[in-house]
Structure 1
Amino acid sequence: MLKPTTRNLRSALPWLLLSALVIVLDLYSKYLVQQAFVYGEHLPVTGFFDLVRYHNTGAAFSFLANAGGWQHGFFTAVSTLASVVMVYLLVKQPQKTLFCFGIALVLGGALGNLYDRLTLGYVVDFLLFYYQQWAWPAFNVADSAICVGVALLVLDSFKNPT
């Protein structure tokens, strides 16, 4: 098991700061939406995008949102455990730039949504894209960071080991 050194911890700091930035942007944007919108309200922005205020009790993109309540504890536990593992990975290999960038985005997104889940009992979603009668589930800054982070991790997995 990795024995954290001061050097590893210092090297991981920029990645942890990136995660913190994602959390701040996510929570601030959700705060603004909660101040400006009542639950369920829509503000059309374009012919394919609305700002909305939805409450998601499920996971990303409303997965298991109507599961009866057990999912709250489950997603809280999974987010907490995953966050611990991601911090460990950032400290263990801070020099792996693309990998750490992806992990930092996923970590920030996971913690932003975890904060909502713990304090509100749901996650605030507000970005809604659609085309005619088809709509992508509403999402937020944290969900966006998680998706971009996962894409970076997939891209990193195709790199040749050095």
Structure 2
Amino acid sequence: MSLKKAGIIIVLVLLIDQIVKLYIKTHFALGEEIEVFDWFRILFVENEGMAWGTKIPGEHGKLILTLFRLFAILGIGWWLWDSVKKGGSRILIISIALIFAGAFGNIIDSVFYGVLFSDSYGHVATFLPEGGGYSSIFHGKVVDMLYFPLWKGYLPTWIPLWGGNYFTFFEPVFNIADSAISVGVAILLIFNKKAFPKHQEKEIE
């Protein structure tokens, strides 16, 4: 698979991701929610840190996280280029392209959104506000909106630790970029032998 085709996948994912995020950011107040189905809702939240809302503590935690993401995307980009150059399998190239696009999509939020938008607390954000954005460059928040509360209820008391507690499955709110990363990783795990055929053959030998 050529680098050009991988680039098309990356551009398409980035376009969809950013169009959805721009729409949500400019049409929803933070916490606003629309129920599409009982099991699927559009819920606008912002993630200041890593997956599952984890944060790096300290005054410069957000900056450290954003810089780490930038270095990570360079590594993923090199992995993609190297895999194409070495004639990697189609599945491998598609997977890396999805992971790269997802990581890049969230980096755009982290680097630029703090400058491009006003805050969304209690009102819809403004794009390129006159008084400046809600934060500085490298300190933006990632926009999330996809929420799938497939099941809600109290867990049986016989379940260790969580028994008897109210539980929601699936609780995390995520975005298109997160989905691209998850799909890319899932493909690598499920189709590992097809993704790394030469590697597998050498191991067998």
Per the shorter chain, which TM-score range?
0.7 to 0.9
- Distance in 1 between residues matched to 2:31 and 2:61, nearest whole Å: 22
User: Which protein has the larger Cα radius of gyration, Structure 1 or Structure 2?
Assistant: 2
SS at match of 2:44: strand
SS at match of 1:39: coil
Cα distance, 1:11 vs. partner?
A: 2.7
2:67 maps to amino acid: A
8 A Cα contact 1:128 1:136, kept in partner = yes
Q: Percent identity?
A: 30
- Give 1:6-155 correspondences, 5 Å limit: 11-64=2-55, 67=57, 70-94=60-84, 95=87, 96-120=89-113, 121-130=140-149, 131-132=151-152, 133-134=167-168, 135-155=170-190
| Alpha-carbon spacing, 1:75–1:17, altered in 2? closer, same or farther (3 Å) | farther
Bigger helix share: 1
- Distance in 2 between residues matched to 1:54 and 1:30, nearest whole Å: 11
Summarize deviations over 1:66-87 as a string: whole Å, max 9, x none. x455442232122212211222
| Alpha-carbon spacing, 1:138–1:68, altered in 2? closer, same or farther (3 Å) | farther
Instruction: Report runs of 4+ in structure 1 exceeding 6 Å deviation.
Output: none
SS at match of 1:127: strand
Cα distance, 1:127 vs. partner?
A: 0.6
- Greater shift, 33-42 or 151-160, is seen at 151-160
**Is there any run of 5+ residues in structure 1 with no aligned partner, and where?**
1-9
SS at match of 2:37: coil
The answer to whether 1:157 aligns with 2:147 is no
- Distance in 2 between residues matched to 1:71 and 1:100, nearest whole Å: 32
**Which residue matches 2:159?**
none
2:74 maps to amino acid: V
Question: TM (normalized to structure 2)?
Answer: 0.67
Cα distance, 1:156 vs. partner?
A: 4.1
SS at match of 1:45: strand
Kindly report the root-mean-square deviation, in angstroms, between the aligned alpha carbons of the 2 structures. 2.1
Which one scores higher on RCO, CA 8 angstroms, separation ≥ 6? Answer: 1
**Is there any run of 5+ residues in structure 2 with no aligned partner, and where?**
114-139, 153-166, 199-205
1:79 maps to amino acid: R
Summarize deviations over 1:106-156 as a string: whole Å, max 9, x none. 100101100001112110000111122514210000000010011112234
8 A Cα contact 1:11 1:91, kept in partner = no
| Alpha-carbon spacing, 1:84–1:115, altered in 2? closer, same or farther (3 Å) | same
Corresponding residue pairs, total: 152
| Alpha-carbon spacing, 1:68–1:57, altered in 2? closer, same or farther (3 Å) | farther
